């Protein structure tokens, strides 16, 4: 394929290919830099001793909060529900 190209076509392709190669190197450098930063960040986070304990404490607090909200919801719903007396209660009271 390259053998069939004339000098004008090659003169156009050389700058295009060089731009693509430089662009590919720039993208590869950005990706490796980002990957290195992510590894450093993960290592820093894993080295913090209280992080795991703090997460566990937050999960416990969230579970307690969820239980409280559920209990309060049930209390509100039961308070809103009308209390009706069964039909036979007045009859029993009059006896």
pLDDT digits (tens, 9 = 90+) for 15-74: 999 999 999 999 999 999 999 999 988 887 777 777 778 888 999 999 999 999 999 988
93 located within any domain: no
10 located within any domain: yes
Question: CA 31, CA 23: separation in Å to the nearest integer?
Answer: 12
**Predicted structure pTM score:** 0.41
Please measure the distance between the N-terminal and C-terminal CA atoms of the chain and give it in whole angstroms.
Answer: 111
Considering the domain architecture, whether residues 42 and 63 belong to the same structural domain is answered as: no
Considering the domain architecture, whether residues 40 and 76 belong to the same structural domain is answered as: no
pLDDT digits (tens, 9 = 90+) for 34-43: 999 999 888 8
38: domain range?
1-47
Considering the domain architecture, whether residues 1 and 29 belong to the same structural domain is answered as: yes
């Amino acid at each position: 394929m390259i053998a069939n190209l004339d000098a004008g076509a090659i003169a156009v392709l050389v700058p295009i290919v060089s731009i693509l190669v430089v662009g590919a190197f720039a993208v590869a450098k950005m990706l490796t830099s980002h990957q290195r930063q992510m590894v450093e960040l993960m290592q820093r986070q894993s080295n913090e001793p209280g992080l795991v304990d703090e997460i566990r404490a937050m999960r416990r607090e969230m579970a307690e909060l969820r239980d409280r909200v559920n209990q309060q919801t049930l209390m509100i719903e039961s308070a809103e529900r009308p209390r009706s007396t069964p039909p036979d209660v007045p009859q029993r009271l009059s006896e």
